[in-house]
Structure 1
Amino acid sequence: MKLKNIFIGLGCVLAFSSCTNEMDYHEYTVYGKDYVFTDFTRTSGFVTNIYSYLDSDLPSNGSLSSACDESEYAWSWSNVHDYYNGSWGPLNSYSLWGYYKAIREANYYLKEFPNADFSELKFDKDYQAQMNRFNRYQYEVRLLRAYYYFLLVRAYGDVPFTTNVLTEDEANKLERTPAATVFQFITDECDAVADKLPINYNDLKEDASTIGSVETGRVTRGMALALKARTLLYQASPLFNANNDLTLWKKAAEASKTVIDYCSQNSIKLGKYSALWGTDNWKASEMIFVRRIGDTNSPETTNFPVGMENGNSGNCPTQTLVDAYEMKTTGKAWDETESGYDPQKPYTNRDPRLSMTVAVNGEKWPSTNANLLETYIGGRNGLPISGATPTGYYLKKYLDGTIDISAQNSSGGKKHNWITFRLGEFYLNYAEAVFKYLGSADATNDQFTMSAKDAVNVIRNREDVKMPAFPAGLSNADFWKKYERERMVELAFEGHRFWDVRRWKEGDKFKSIVRMEISKDNSNYTYNRVIKNRIWDDKMYLFPIPDVEIRKNPNLTQNPGW
């Protein structure tokens, strides 16, 4: 998408929709500002359309999980392979530049909303409720704009930046703004709008209308605090903090602590790990903000095992990921001394989150599958069948195992929702930041009374997890190794791993993945780890600027190495 077309504010994008139990995004038409800002429904639709750009990465035909070491996409035709096969580049950039369209719409709204005239509606029964919502929209839009800038700076580093509605000529002269400046803008905006946003829309009696609708899909105070905390964690990380400025780690720890405290004060708490996905996962007790997707069976049709009717395989978890799940009894990695790992029973006595996330050979998955999984070579769901799992595993997380995708009994789609922010992430973010700031997993001070070790142990003590606690006295190297495993396990397939390895500047981890090759002899199975090499170059820490954008804007420079 051309930058000049993104920033021009000559028209308004309008989405006629309302926000009830989920955000509904409809086709839009271009109208003038006098049409949009004289009717509350049309103004509301405009704001709702800005929400429609929110990201999600539900397992599909090549999620980012398969662009890192969480999974491998089973079909060779998927573009996701370009991230590690040498095809990625400015001409094949997988551009995120489209977020500038959302930013342009936000800038346009923030410029024009003060001139809105709803005087003709003042005798409507719902007028006051509508005005309460309208007065809050400006803060919602500012937070959304900050979030979109985060998605851009995370990927590109220095990016073109503006809060104005630009002409074509102005847009095509924008230079890249330093990432530190963009990070500062994001955190400042979060601070500015947090107290203007509600904790829970269900409690807004002043928003009640005669039709009784409740807006529940919109950004909250918690999202503002969470975006600030995640932004500061990225800014403190090696990719953006080359000199390891400890004050940045301190700010990140403070912001994550604020999120944790906010959640404690507002009954947002850790629940079952298994509640993080499914039809009603947006109601889970630890959710801060969830992107509503709606009814679909796409994650199931693109990830259920080959070998069952209409199963197409897809994003197959790697052995690299499976190896991150420690042993349930000892809390040790599979390859550590006295871990309790049995190579003939590799999935026995493992972290319970493994069985919730990954489908393994010999188990019943999904529940609509008439047969037990056979992921071994020659099995019903294994190689050499076209599209069968190359890793020995199929995906469970984010999939609904009760959905029937067979031609005869198809149950159709069910609600799916993408986790944008949840409490569990911020215990991990806090642990990382306070560890980096205080220099030890056990260290505390008057401000940070919970140690990094203790923060991780909160996660491991979930009621359906109950993994052994990280012990006291871990060396820094041992803590970091265990922390990375914990983060990979807890946040698997939630869109973090692809970015975490980059912000840590540990890209060599992406030079290979491990597969599990399973063979069967009578009733005996043999499990053999196989290394699959991939291409990694340090230029991949940041995305390439799309070539088409550089050709249109002579002031737009390319990222190093591309």
Structure 2
Amino acid sequence: MINKIRTSVFVVCAAGCLASCSDQMDYNEYNIFDKDYITQNFKNVGGFMTDIYNTVDYDFGNYSSGAMQASATDESEYSILGNAIEDFYNGAWSPTNAKSSVWTNMYKGISTCNHVIHELQGLSFDELKLNSDYAAQLHRYENYKYESRFMRAYFYFCLVRQYGDVPLVTQQITAEEANSISQTSADDIFKFIMDECADIQSLIIEDYSNLGELSTGTEETGRADQLAVLALKARAALYWASPLFNPNGDKERYRTAALYTKELLDAAQKRGKDLTAKYADLWAAESFNTPGIMKEILYGRRYYKNSSGDNMVETNNYPVGIEGGAGGNCPTQNLVDAYDMLNGKSIGEAGSEYDEKNPYQNRDPRLAATVAVNGDQWPTYSGAAKIETFHGGVNGEPLTGATPTGYYLKKLCNGAISLASNSKFTASRHTWLTFRMGEFYLNYAEAVFKYLGDANAVTVEFPMSACAAASMTRKRAGMPAFEEGMDAATFWTKLCNERFVELAFEGHRFWDVRRWKEADKYFKNIVEMKLTKETDGSITYTRKNVSRQWDDKMYFFPIPQTELIKNKNLKQNSGW
């Protein structure tokens, strides 16, 4: 059940110490050494931290051979038929086809964290004592245990949101113990996560980019710091308060979530954090070292194969019809419809001025930053043509892999990359945004609204209203703030829609709809847009509804059958 490293044998990355912000965190050469060898060398111990950071999840199309988890939701549809992402909605999902990578990887990461926490403490590293930066390096080492405790808590968050009750392991255990341990309730897992974060938030390094005389000379902004800890605590509290984990509707859980989120926002703002000026910049190649962009990022998972970067997200999602394009994760009409008009009204609202013949005019600017529509120059590199997503177009059906929805994905991609064989710019760095300020303004809005029951209510405890918090991301995009005075049902609809738009393709939709227990509303039908070019050159837009399967057992993943066979004390999730 649990990937273990026994106390007598250690696995360490041969490449050495944990990567900084300018280094890659993907190593794949391993050597086996005993504990005495590992603990005598600072770089060897750092290799364990590299392994831990490499376990942090991200989804640039690596979830299922090019498909993002978004394509198992109403955000997108994967254009290449037969991809395993379809199992989520075609009935092929089961305990023997359990999508168990998170179970495997998170427990591997937890095992490594437990080793750092319990086996690699109290070291002094004689080989560094004569170095001028010895104090700085030792300070870095002493923070490993807090980073490991944070990461262990994060890995448990990934497990509990996916499975509910899971085994809780905080010590080194034998193979026999691993295969006989029982599950801990989801409530207790959430409490463990929040308690761990509360315990280490004042102990972990506050800001790796500002270590003063303890700096090692490199701003290691890719490492987890105090704000990452506060962010995990706040997000876990919101999930714990949500209907999937809070069937009795305990409002005090929402109060806890609101308090933790306010604590994060206050601490972040004190450090100069806030929303970056331009939404699309968050996924720019240099986001990790550009101050105006970094101010929104609380923690990001760096991904690049070498010093020049990588092009996985572009290879997976560039339009069919250009060299190297695969089609990939194509935004749905459901998502496109979610973007309001520039006047702040939804497309179906009276006075919106929505024009069905020119459906992309005067829309929320985040639409153009996220979705490539017919007629866009996409990608954006010099010489790229305007895409044609209509039937028979250069990038449209019936080409194999062409978009079935009428759209291609822009967000997360670097449009300056050319996949052409003669291109000189074929890769760049990418950062998966695990935690960012935009999410937490929306999280605060949700928690305060659910606790106070009124979108405009404020208290001494919560001086910012849900409506004001939910408007932050809209105003950044150049959209009007939400109108005050909305009734509760209207505000909840607007808030859910704002999350859909602001956080599209960032890994939230799959989990938001589940924790809200609203999959019947959102996941049973997607809409494709079929474009036809008429003889006069005009485009006709025709909606096509596509049904998908949903069963309430799918709110949680099945425990992998292989784990149930190995450990008779594990219980399968209901319905599987």
The answer, yes or no, to whether TM exceeds 0.5 is yes
Q: Please give the secondary structure, in 2, of the residue aligned with 1:160.
A: coil
Q: Is contact 1:8-1:168 (8 Å) kept?
A: no
Residue identity in the other structure for 1:412: T
Contact 2:388 2:394 in 1 (8 A): yes
Aligned to 1:412: 426
**Aligned with residue 455 of structure 2, among 435, 441, 455:** 441
Given candidates 306, 325, 330, the residue that maps to 2:320 is 306
Tell whether the 8 Å contact from 1:8 to 1:104 is kept in structure 2 after alignment. Answer: no
- Is residue 490 from structure 1 mapped to residue 497 from structure 2 by the alignment? no
2:298 partner amino acid: I
Q: Which residue does the alignment assign to 2:181?
A: 174
- In structure 2, distance between residues paired with 1:198 and 1:7: 27
Match of 2:296 in 1: 286
Q: Does 1:528 align with 2:542?
A: yes
Amino acid at match of 2:456: D
TM-score w.r.t. the length of structure 2 is 0.94
Q: 2:43 — aligned with what?
A: 41
Q: Which amino acid aligns with 1:33?
A: K
2:344 is the counterpart of 1:339: no
Taking the aligned partners of 2:3 and 2:270, their CA distance within structure 1 comes to 44
1:130 equivalent in structure 2: 137
Conserved? CA contact 1:316–1:394, under 8 Å: yes
Q: 2:159 aligns with which of 152, 161, 167?
A: 152
**Length, aligned pairs only:** 555
> 1:114 Cα deviation (Å)?
2.8
Q: Confirm or deny: 8 A CA contact 1:7 1:100 kept in the other structure.
A: no
* CA gap 1:506/1:130 in 2 versus in 1, 3 angstroms: same
Alignment of 1:184-223 (within 5 A): 184-209=191-216, 212-223=217-228
Q: Could you say which residue in structure 1 is the equivalent of 2:58?
A: 56
In 2, Cα distance between the equivalents of 1:248 and 1:502?
A: 18
Deviates more, 1:440-449 or 1:548-557: 440-449
Q: Which amino acid aligns with 1:14?
A: V
Of all paired residues, the percent bearing the same amino acid is: 48
What residue ranges of structure 2 are gaps of 5+ in the alignment?
Answer: none
Task: Kindly indicate whether residue 335 of structure 2 is the aligned counterpart of residue 321 of structure 1.
Answer: yes
Q: Which residue of 2 aligns with 1:76?
A: 81
Runs of 4+ in 1 over 4 A off after TM superposition: 7-10
CA distance in 2, matches of 1:309, 1:50: 36
Matching of residue 352 in structure 1 with residue 362 in structure 2: no
Tell me which residue corresponds to 2:19. 19
The answer to whether the Cα contact below 8 Å between 1:13 and 1:105 also exists between their aligned partners in 2 is: no
Counterparts of 1:449 and 1:470, CA distance in 2? 17
Name 1:467's counterpart in structure 2: 479
Q: How does 1:355-394 map to 2 (within 5 A)?
A: 355-368=368-381, 370-394=384-408
Deviation at 1:11, TM superposition (A): 2.5
TM-superposed CA distance for 1:457, in Å, is 1.2
In structure 1, C-alpha distance between the alignment counterparts of 2:68 and 2:45, rounded to whole Å: 34
Deviates more, 1:131-140 or 1:365-374: 365-374
Match of 2:250?
245
- For 2:377 and 2:43, how far apart are their aligned partners in 1? 48
Quick one: distance in 1 between partners of 2:315 and 2:206? 36
1:259-296, Cα deviation, whole Å (9 max, x unpaired): 11111101001121111101012241211111110211
Q: Say yes or no: does 1:224 pair with 2:237.
A: no
Q: Does 1:507 align with 2:507?
A: no
- Closer, same or farther in 2 for the Cα pair 1:321/1:72, shift >3 Å? same
Moved more, 363-372 or 479-488: 363-372
- State the SS of the aligned residue for 2:303: strand
Per-residue CA deviation, residues 5-27 of structure 1 (Å, 9 max, x unaligned), is 44755532212134322443322
Would you say 1:268 and 2:280 are equivalent positions?
A: no
Q: Distance in 2 between matches of 1:370 and 1:288?
A: 34
**Aligned-partner Cα distance in 2 for 1:507–1:474:** 24
Alpha-carbon RMSD across the aligned residues, in angstroms, is 1.4
Which stretch shows the higher mean deviation, 498-507 or 8-17? 8-17
In the alignment, the residues of structure 1 paired with residue 495 and residue 7 of structure 2 have an alpha-carbon distance, to the nearest angstrom, of: 46
| SS of 2:120 mapped into structure 1 | helix
Q: Supply the distance in 1 between the matched residues of 2:88 and 2:59 (Cα, whole angstroms).
A: 16
- Tell me how far 1:140 sits from its aligned partner: 0.7
AA aligned to 2:560 is: P
Aligned partners of 1:250, 1:312: CA distance in 2, in Å?
45
Q: CA deviation at 1:91?
A: 0.6
Q: Does 1:478 align with 2:490?
A: yes
Q: Which runs of 5 or more residues in structure 1 are unaligned?
A: none
Relative distance call for 1:38 and 1:281 in structure 2 (3 A) is same
- Structure-2 separation of matches of 1:9 and 1:302: 41
The separation in 2 between residues aligned to 1:161 and 1:558, in whole angstroms, is 16
Residues 121/366 of structure 1: CA separation in 2 closer, same or farther (3 Å cut): closer
Please name the residue that 1:28 is paired with: 30
Q: For the Cα contact (< 8 Å) 2:160–2:186, is it kept in 1?
A: yes
Which amino acid is the alignment partner of residue 272 of structure 2?
S
Residues 436, 90 of structure 1: alpha-carbon distance in 2 compared, 3 angstrom cutoff: same
Amino acid at match of 2:505: F
* Alpha-carbon distance in 2 for matches of 1:391, 1:17: 45
Q: Distance in 2 between matches of 1:135 and 1:471?
A: 49
Q: CA 1:33–1:325 in 2, change beyond 3 Å: closer, same or farther?
A: same
Amino acid at match of 1:127: Y
Structure 2 distance, partners of 1:298, 1:471, is 41
Which 10-residue stretch deviates more, 222-231 or 9-18? 9-18
Shift of the 223–378 alpha-carbon distance from structure 1 to 2, 3 Å rule, reads same
| In 1, Cα distance between equivalents of 2:174 and 2:8 | 9
What is the CA-CA distance between 1:118 and the residue it aligns to?
2.2
Contact 2:564/2:572 (8 A) holds in 1: yes
Hey, what's the Cα distance between the residues in 1 that align with 2:240 and 2:538? 51
